[in-house]
């Protein structure tokens, strides 16, 4: 017999004795306890869909997805049940905090002084007259993945003012087994905005002009936005094309093709520069200006060409540029000065008041317009 045989038999006997001594019932009970600890509903706020988080372009430094001051905002979130048991009761809350260096500060308030915080405890429950959902199954998404926040039966509306905020959406589900994913938060920035509004219309009031004869039109230009401001030196591009014999402005200048149009508003001597610390250090020049929410009109006419067959024509206008004035980042000037106390040279940065040219406003949809017309020639062939 090999000398290894007794050794192998001894190991087998010891292993059998150890296995026999194990309490299998106790092991099974422990496994059940651990499984019970992991089981249950889990309301997870995956992301906030509205408003969108404000980010900064790493190359240009431009803020992306900012909110416009005064524009109503609704809150939408992607909420799911990540657990393995249906959620029987759940509420959802949303709170807007003032941002302090990107962290939550005090709760922000609306114009009436009320906290911007809403808690809807009746999102999921077993009362169909109170809650829109009776349960949220395991793995299911609330409202198909796009839940709009409501309070007392109405959609929550936030009308923001300028500033930086932290928006927090949080769930409270009965028996939630993972509280760490019950909330999501984003940072948003709210900015003032400007709007140059253009509107073209046929003087006849028609949507589409037709027939022969001169067709007069009016171009209206106005300003809007979230705060008082004035637009200077507005320049538009006018494109007149189609079946036309002529197109002229009120002074008789030719408008056929593409033309740069300017001179909107009131002309006058206007301040164009002012030093940050020296009110007497100013510069002025002549400018055309449209004050906030004022309107100026510009007129012209086209003459359809009815000598040939039928055809179409159109007048299109687009914003090219305008100028704003104020104490703006673009007005920064850094100069080297001598410190009177230390005698050393150091840099001093001033933010002056100056003019800044813009190639687009904050609402592109109102910065262009178009009107159209048709030429229809009828041939009457008589048979005798």
Q: CA–CA separation, 138 vs 81, rounded Å?
A: 5
Domain tally, the chain: 2
Nearest in space to 314 (alpha carbons), one of 328, 327, 304: 304
How confident is residue 110, by pLDDT bands cut at 50, 70 and 90? very high
Please indicate, yes or no, whether residues 186 and 259 belong to a single structural domain of this protein.
Answer: no
Question: Are 329 and 161 in contact, with CB atoms under 8 Å apart?
Answer: no
For residue range 124-151, what is the model confidence (pLDDT) as tens digits?
999 999 999 999 999 999 999 999 999 9
Q: CA–CA separation, 44 vs 177, rounded Å?
A: 10
16 located within any domain: no
Please indicate, yes or no, whether residues 117 and 63 belong to a single structural domain of this protein.
Answer: yes
Please indicate, yes or no, whether residues 184 and 224 belong to a single structural domain of this protein.
Answer: no
106 located within any domain: yes
Domain boundary among 191, 210, 234: 191
Overall residue count recorded for the chain in this entry: 384
State the pTM of this model: 0.73
Interacting residues of 348 by C-beta distance below 8 A, sequence separation 6+: 334, 335, 336, 337
Percent pLDDT > 70 in the chain is: 88
Please indicate, yes or no, whether residues 272 and 307 belong to a single structural domain of this protein.
Answer: yes
Question: Are 41 and 81 in contact, with CB atoms under 8 Å apart?
Answer: yes
- Print the SS3 string covering 11-56: HHHHHHHHHHHCCHHHHHHHHHHHHHHHCCCCEEEEEEEECCCCEE
Please indicate, yes or no, whether residues 223 and 158 belong to a single structural domain of this protein.
Answer: no
Residue 20 has pLDDT above 80, yes or no: no
Residue 28 has pLDDT above 80, yes or no: no
- What distances in angstroms separate CA 75 from CA 90, 147, 155, one per listed residue? 17, 8, 8
Please indicate, yes or no, whether residues 330 and 273 belong to a single structural domain of this protein.
Answer: yes
Output the pLDDT for position 24. Answer: 40
Q: What is the mean pLDDT of residues 318-322?
A: 98
Please indicate, yes or no, whether residues 92 and 217 belong to a single structural domain of this protein.
Answer: no
Q: CA–CA separation, 3 vs 129, rounded Å?
A: 83
Question: Are 76 and 48 in contact, with CB atoms under 8 Å apart?
Answer: yes
Residue 22 has pLDDT above 80, yes or no: no
- Main-chain dihedrals φ then ψ at residue 120, nearest 5 degrees: -100, 100
For residue range 148-204, what is the model confidence (pLDDT) as tens digits?
999 999 999 999 999 999 999 999 999 999 999 999 999 999 999 999 999 999 999
59 located within any domain: yes
Output the pLDDT for position 345. Answer: 86
Output the pLDDT for position 98. Answer: 98
71 located within any domain: yes
Give the domain range for residue 355. 194-375
Q: CA–CA separation, 5 vs 14, rounded Å?
A: 15
Domain boundary among 131, 166, 191: 191
Please indicate, yes or no, whether residues 225 and 312 belong to a single structural domain of this protein.
Answer: yes
18 located within any domain: no
Whichever domain contains 144, its CATH number is 2.60.40.10
């Amino acid at each position: 017999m090999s000398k290894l045989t007794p050794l192998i038999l001894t190991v087998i006997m010891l292993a059998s004795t150890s296995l026999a001594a194990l309490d299998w019932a106790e092991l099974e009970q422990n496994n059940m306890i651990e499984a019970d600890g992991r089981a249950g509903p889990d309301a997870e706020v995956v992301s906030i869909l509205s408003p969108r988080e404000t980010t900064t372009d790493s190359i240009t430094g431009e803020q992306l997805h900012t909110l416009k001051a005064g524009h109503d905002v609704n809150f939408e979130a992607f909420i799911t049940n990540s657990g393995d048991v249906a959620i029987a009761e759940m509420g959802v809350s949303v709170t807007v905090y003032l941002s302090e260096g990107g962290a939550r500060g005090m709760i922000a308030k609306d114009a009436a002084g009320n906290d911007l915080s809403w808690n809807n405890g009746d999102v999921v429950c077993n009362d169909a007259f109170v809650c829109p959902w009776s349960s949220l199954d395991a793995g299911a998404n609330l409202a198909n993945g796009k839940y709009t926040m409501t309070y007392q039966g109405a959609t929550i509306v936030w009308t923001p003012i300028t500033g930086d905020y932290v928006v927090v959406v949080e769930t409270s589900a009965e028996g939630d087994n993972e509280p760490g994913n019950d909330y999501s938060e984003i940072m948003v920035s709210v900015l003032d905005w400007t709007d140059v509004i253009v509107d073209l219309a046929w003087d006849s009031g028609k949507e589409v002009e037709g027939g022969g004869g001169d067709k007069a039109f009016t171009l209206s230009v106005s300003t809007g936005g979230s705060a008082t401001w004035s637009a200077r030196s507005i320049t538009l591009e006018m494109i007149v094309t189609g079946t036309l014999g002529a197109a002229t402005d009120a002074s008789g200048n030719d408008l056929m093709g593409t033309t740069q149009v300017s001179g909107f508003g009131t002309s006058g001597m206007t301040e164009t520069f002012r030093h940050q610390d020296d009110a007497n250090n100013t510069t002025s020049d002549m400018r055309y200006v449209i004050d906030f929410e004022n309107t100026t009109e510009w007129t012209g006419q086209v003459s359809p060409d009815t000598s040939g067959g039928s055809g179409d024509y159109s007048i299109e206008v687009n914003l090219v540029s305008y100028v704003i004035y104020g104490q703006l980042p673009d007005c920064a000037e850094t100069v080297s000065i001598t410190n009177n106390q230390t005698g050393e040279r150091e840099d001093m940065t001033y933010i002056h008041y100056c003019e800044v040219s813009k190639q687009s406003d904050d609402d592109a949809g109102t910065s262009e317009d178009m009107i159209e017309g048709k030429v229809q020639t009828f041939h009457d062939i008589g048979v005798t």
